[in-house]
Amino acid sequence: MKRIMLAILLFTLFPVSAFSEEADIIKLEDIVVTGTREAEPLKETPATVNAIKSEEVKDVKATHPSEIMNRIPGVWINSTGGEGHITSIRQPLTTNPVYLYLEDGIPIRSTGFFNHNALYEVNMPAADRIEVIKGTGTALYGSDAIGGTINIMTKAPSLKPEIEINPEVGQYDWYRLLISGSNTWGDDGFRLDFNSTHSGGWRERKLYDRYSSTLRWDHNFSMTSSAKTIIAYSNIDQETSGGAPLTKADYDNRPWYNYNTFDYRKVEAFRLSTTVEKELGEKALISTIPYIRWNRMDLLPEWGIFKSGAGYAGYESATQFYSLGLLTKYRRDFEPLRSRFIVGVDLDYSPGSYQEKRLIVSRDAATLKYTSYTYDTNTANYYDYDATFAGVSPYTQVEFSPVERLRFTVGARYDDLSYDYTNNLSTSTNRPASTEKSFSHLSPKVGATCAVTDDVSVFASYNNGFRIPSTGDLFKAGGTATTAVDLNPIKVDSYEAGLRSKVGAIFTFDTTVYYMEKKDDIVTYKPATGDSQRLNAGKTTHKGIEIGVDVQPVKEIGMNVSYSYAKHYYDEWKVSATKDYSGKEMSAAPRQNLNIRLDYTPEFLNGGLMELEWVHLGSYWMDDENTEKYDGHDLINARASYNLTPLWELYAKVLNLMDKAYADRASKSGSSEALYAPGQPQTFFAGVVYNWGM
């Protein structure tokens, strides 16, 4: 509550936001924002940036982030229960902090307090647009922007009064209510979006509830200065094991079953930011974005239960942090060579805390269910620490065109990052003593774009990236704690080249090839004697091709194809004296990923559509030893909508139309039995949208 009161106080002190022409700008299909934090032509962006536009967000009405995100070439997001997810973008499916999640260009979480579920902290059904930068974006956004950067953009206020109400129901006790209201009075525009979602789940322990609201206030100070304030809050309560794995026998015969009975995740997330922009004449702009964040997560995870001696153990934890930050940027354009100069600095101060208690877990041998737990009295297995992250990160970028159709981009970012760690318990092999850790890194980038014709362009780029060890890597590494505090950042070199082309409104083709090397990756090494050690001893390679094709031969019929082929493998990955995975493919890394959508928008639907979607996920190794594979799967989804009147829309959709059994994740560790997390069976949803506007 104190944090909320602080947020309200700072809100009264911050400048308030602005109604601008942003919505009109970013809806243009050849304009992207995330590449430079400012709208610019895609054909002059030397990076792979894919956008999901407002109309597609509206048509899909995603019930999980994967439904909308997996339409992008090279993106695979799966479900871990509720709206929980794990992401794969130019990396294997992983919970590691190699992705950066943004809301209107502002990181949702602070470095060091990464959560792979970060998208559920954003009200995605209310998004106006989603942009994804694939590959390394460290030179602009800093640590964690290695595999990709996802930017969720809020809707701008409407010019006239507008109200939208969208109740939705579905199988397995699903219901959702989305409400949006907006208007502009003079120089002030307001939009409020509300999301209430409940799911009983098709499996045991899959209960999920969320409440989210987003308030956006835009304000015009003058023709040359404006501001935009966003207040966002989410409250999530779920049973974590809704996506828990099963043995092969249970996966085949009772996929609804669950071995867990007491797991939970409770999350609160609050964000407040104000973007103030001032044009300095016709060729310069200055931008400042002060922001605050507050997050808390109470967790007792099913995946935290493990074999311990003759019994089982688990843990219960509480994590919280708040942030005070500032993003600043100055941009200046020059006539010679159509040059552009950008300079900025990002500041982040994020104090946080972590408490963890070890549990002794009871299991029923007949049902395989974990039935109850007690707290371990051995406090040597507990954690209680404070960790404050601080970052000062200046960056600069220069763009110029020696000839009209050729444009170069050169930039760099210097990150000076630190942790101030205080151990509130006694020091042990599990808990390092209080200390301070600092990291610094220079991340350069260089790229070029060439407009071969008005409708064909090519690009190539090099980006250097890094990520610092998280608080978990450094300060709660178990028996490796005494060595983990000496970990260094993971470093990345990323190369890519691409082609963009179109033929009017009939045909669009985009393709990118990429090659990425990660060095000093963090490996848990088990020596012959003594405790495990966390070391910077890994090196991995990631390479592939991504293709997007949009075809619309006639007005009523369209086809969209997203395809990627990738290979991820270990160059160096020795985890013990006897286990060396060097040369092996990485687990949970399918080589092929395909998504094809056929859209039909006949006149009799009054602006509605019918869509058939085919999702293909290729096979992948379930373990790093490459001994067993998951065969992959193919799914069919269908959607339809019909506009009764300009005010009323009816829609329905079915996921997994053919009711195919498949696994969201399949894994195997050593000689243990393979485990499968069953995917969602055939599920129907239907809703109505009332959209009133003057």
* pLDDT at 669 (0 to 100): 87
* pLDDT at 29 (0 to 100): 47
537 vs 324, higher pLDDT: 324
| Local structure of 386: helix, strand or coil | strand
Label residue 2 by pLDDT band (50, 70, 90).
very low
430 vs 630, higher pLDDT: 630
Q: What is the DSSP string of 166-191?
A: EEEEETTTEEEEEEEEEEEETTEEEE
Type of residue found at 62: A
- Mean pLDDT, to the nearest integer, of 154-160? 96
Q: What is the DSSP string of 95-118?
A: -SS-EEEEETTEESS-TTS--TTG
Assess whether pLDDT exceeds 60 at residue 514: yes
Label residue 491 by pLDDT band (50, 70, 90).
very high
CATH classification at residue 181: 2.40.170.20
- Mean pLDDT, to the nearest integer, of 147-169? 96
Backbone angles phi, psi at 58, to 5 degrees: -65, -40
The string of pLDDT tens digits covering residues 577-612 is 888 999 999 999 999 999 999 999 999 999 999 999
Label residue 479 by pLDDT band (50, 70, 90).
low
| Structural domain total, the chain | 1
- Residue-range definition of the domain harbouring residue 341: 2-693
Paired tokens of 663: 């696994």
Task: Give this prediction's pTM.
Answer: 0.92
316 vs 474, higher pLDDT: 316
The string of pLDDT tens digits covering residues 104-147 is 999 999 988 989 999 999 999 999 999 999 999 877 888 888 99
What mean pLDDT value characterizes the chain? Answer: 91
How far apart are the C-alpha atoms of 468 and 420, rounded to whole Å? 14
Assess whether pLDDT exceeds 60 at residue 677: yes
Least confident interval from 76-90, 203-217, 471-485 = 471-485
Helices (H) and strands (E) in the chain, counts: 8, 38
How far apart are the C-alpha atoms of 201 and 485, rounded to whole Å? 41
The string of pLDDT tens digits covering residues 268-291 is 999 999 999 999 988 999 999 999
Angle at the Cα of 684 from the Cα atoms of 129 and 620, rounded to 5 degrees: 70
Least confident interval from 235-249, 418-432, 465-479 = 465-479
Assess whether pLDDT exceeds 60 at residue 21: no
* pLDDT at 138 (0 to 100): 79
- Mean pLDDT, to the nearest integer, of 488-497? 95
- Mean pLDDT, to the nearest integer, of 419-439? 91
* Dihedral over Cα of 582, 587, 589, 590: its sign: positive
Check if the beta carbon of residue 297 is closer than 8 Å to that of residue 319. Answer: yes
Type of residue found at 458: V
SS3 content of the chain, % helix, strand, coil (to 5): 10, 60, 30
The string of pLDDT tens digits covering residues 370-417 is 999 999 998 888 999 999 999 999 999 999 999 999 999 999 999 999
| Local structure of 310: helix, strand or coil | coil
The string of pLDDT tens digits covering residues 178-220 is 999 999 999 999 999 999 999 999 999 999 999 999 999 999 9
- The DSSP element (H or E) to which 406 belongs, if any, is strand 406-423
Q: Please, which residues have CB within 8 angstroms of residue 161's CB and are 6 or more apart in sequence?
A: 182, 183, 693, 694
